[in-house]
Amino acid sequence: MPAEQRSFEILVAEYRGMVYAYCLGILEDAHLAEDVTQEVFLVAQRRLADFRPGESFGAWLRGIARNEVRESRRAAARRHVVADSDLVAGMEDVYARLDDKSLGDAWVERLAVVRLCIAALPELMRRAMELVYSAGLAVAEAAARAGERADTFQRRLSRAREKVRECVETKLGLEPLP
Amino acid sequence: MSLEAKLPEGAGERRRLGRQIAVDGLVRVALAGSAAAAHRAPARRYRRPNSAWSWKKRLAAVAAGLVSAAAGGLIVLWLHGGAGGLRVESGEVSNGGRAVGTLAAGKHYRAGAQGARLAAPGGGKLSLSGGASFTPTATGLELASGEVIGRKLSRAELRAGPLRAESAGASLALMRLAENGLDEAAVVVFAGRVRADAGGGGVAVAAGQALAVGWGVEPRALAVEDLKAALARQRQALAPPGEAAKYHQITREYAGRLEDFRRQLQSAQAGSPQAGELQSRIESLADCQAAHQRRLAGLDADAAEGARIDRRVDFLDRAMRDGQDNALISAFDPGHPEGGQVWLSMLSR
């Protein structure tokens, strides 16, 4: 196998998890996020010569991911996320910190920050997140499973999301926004 | 959740929402596993070799055979508890390197390489894996490392590190991988019901369920299939098997090339353009080699975690399989022609 091809495979292995999580946050659809992730790496391989050494490779890949979301017809409903520079800057706040290898060489190690924040949630909040994000239930279905009213469950889920975000911000050393 | 309709007005609010979107994506991945695990390769559903129904039928057939064989149709349901005065029924158990036949509470023992089977005075059975390290207690057993299968244990208490399992007529398998330095343990119940405590309050673990501590999943009773699916997702979140070997190969190639360049440098004229070029290549290659070696540490850690996950899955598989096999063996136990054991709780599942 040519050295260049092998090097690219290594880059894919290193950054695939990050790109997928980034796309999943934007698209909220696992299948679509996986498709876009694949496209990102196909484009990256073609345009590798455009990458300027010294830049963040992760940030470069995320730029490609945003382009792919813009161009994907299936992602039309989520295009506004990548069209808003403030939203993109907010996402980049988090991901730029996660690019830091001091948090761990492997992506899965860096993801530990998020796992710790989920683990720190009160039991009911964690359960709400698991039902929706892990079991893949719709909010109404998850509320029924939890034996709660949908609006109560939705409020708890929203609070859980906020708490995890605040915890991740603290752990990554991000300045709180005014 | 549609964000489009409710994008905040303020730039700061939108930036906060951007952070929230980023964290939401990370949470989804953290909870669902890796990219591949979350969807492209949905977790394989564990299927027992024999369905519950066919297993019921098999046991029913065993019971029926037993009934006709033991004239008068005597079926004995054994419920035995306690482990005080355990004796070695088969295999080898040693204390301080000396083989023993009976075990005393509070003393530390190790099962031989082939494992051992212990019998309680009342008839309860414990099967220990090869090399298992344990201490009988007044009411049960404390497992330091290895695996133990307990059959029809009433009022027995089994401990494994942070995990405590109280059996009331249940059959279960317990494991603790103490040798890896992590405090992890798990209990699988294949008949009856167990009260387990992992330090966060007791929970009931029913037949077909397991509770694991230190496995990266919430310590609550889960169907064995669901626990295996969670482990499969963890496995897929790691670097693929073979990745570490690939990196080792690459770093070896780097080392070979570096050595080659250094040899060439020695024979090049000092201060010549060729020597300068070689020196630059050596420095660049050495940087690459160092970067790969740093990455290798993570890959090696993934490989080790992968091996631990494989061992956990293997334990779950074996526990369920052995639980079934043992039940059949017990039903035909030639040592007890008066009727042997029939696990009615399994028949009624």
Residue-wise pLDDT for A57-70, tens only, equals 899 999 999 999 99
CA–CA distance, B207 with B345 (Å, rounded to integer): 9
| CATH code for the part of the protein at A1-105 | 1.10.1740.10
pLDDT digits (tens, 9 = 90+) for B189-244: 988 888 888 876 788 898 889 999 888 888 889 999 999 999 998 888 888 777 77
Residue of A94, A109, A121, A124 to mutate, interface with B, max B Cβ within 10 Å: A94
Put residue B201 in one of left, alpha, beta given phi > 0 → left and psi -120 to 50 → alpha. left
Q: Domain A111-178 falls in which CATH fold?
A: Arc Repressor Mutant, subunit A (1.10.10)
DSSP run (H or E) holding B330 = helix B273-331
Q: Which residues of B touch A16 (CB under 8 A)?
A: 35
Contact at CB, A91 and B18, closer than 8 angstroms: yes
Question: A158 and chain B: CB distance < 8 Å anywhere?
Answer: no
Which residues have a Cβ under 8 Å from the Cβ of B44 and sit 6 or more positions away? Answer: B229, B232
Secondary structure class of B257 (helix, strand, coil): helix
Instruction: Check residue B123 and give its pLDDT.
Output: 62
Measured between its terminal Cα atoms, the distance across chain A in Å is 52
d(C-alpha B277, C-alpha B280), whole Å: 5
What is the average per-residue pLDDT within A104-133?
84
What confidence score (pLDDT) does residue B53 get?
A: 31
Averaged in consecutive runs of 10 residues, what is the pLDDT profile of chain B (349 residues)?
64 94 92 44 28 35 34 25 65 89 88 85 76 84 87 78 82 78 82 82 86 86 91 86 79 83 87 84 78 79 86 87 50 34 27
Q: DSSP labels for B116-128? A: EEEE-TTS-EEEE
Q: At residue A86, does pLDDT exceed 90?
A: yes
Query: Which token pair is A71?
Result: 């161009």
Q: With a cut of 70, say whether residue A49 has pLDDT above it.
A: yes
Return the bridge partners of B166, or none: B157, B195
Q: Which residues of B touch A86 (CB under 8 A)?
A: 11-12, 14-15, 18
Contact B35 A161 (CB under 8 A): no
| Inter-residue contact B188 to B196 (CB < 8 Å) | no
Which pLDDT value is given to residue B179? 60
Q: What percent of chain A has pLDDT over 70?
A: 94
Q: What is the CATH number assigned to the segment(s) B80-238+318-347?
A: 2.60.120.1440
B104-B106-B110 Cα angle (round to 5) = 75
Dihedral sign from CA coordinates of B286, B288, B292, B294: positive
Complex confidence, ipTM: 0.95
Domain boundaries, chain B: 80-238+318-347, 243-308
Locate the domains of chain A by residue range.
1-105, 111-178
Closest-approach residue (CA) in chain B for A83: B4
Q: Rounded to an integer, what distance in angstroms lies between the CA atom of residue A137 and that of residue A131? A: 6
Is residue A145 exposed (0-12), middle (13-18) or buried (19+ Cβ within 10 Å)? middle
Question: Dihedral sign, CA of B310, A24, B25, A139?
Answer: negative
AA letter at B257:
R
pTM confidence score: 0.45
Q: Is the pLDDT score of A132 beyond 80?
A: yes
- DSSP letters, B298-317, are HHHHHHHHHHHHHHHHHHHH
Q: Is B297 on the interface with A (CB under 8 A)?
A: yes
Q: What is the CATH number of domain B243-308?
A: 1.10.287
- Residue A32 pLDDT greater than 60, yes or no: yes
Residue A79 CB-half CA count within 13 A: 10
At B210 the pLDDT is 92
Residue written as tokens 């037993």? B66
Backbone angles phi, psi at B206, to 5 degrees: -95, 170
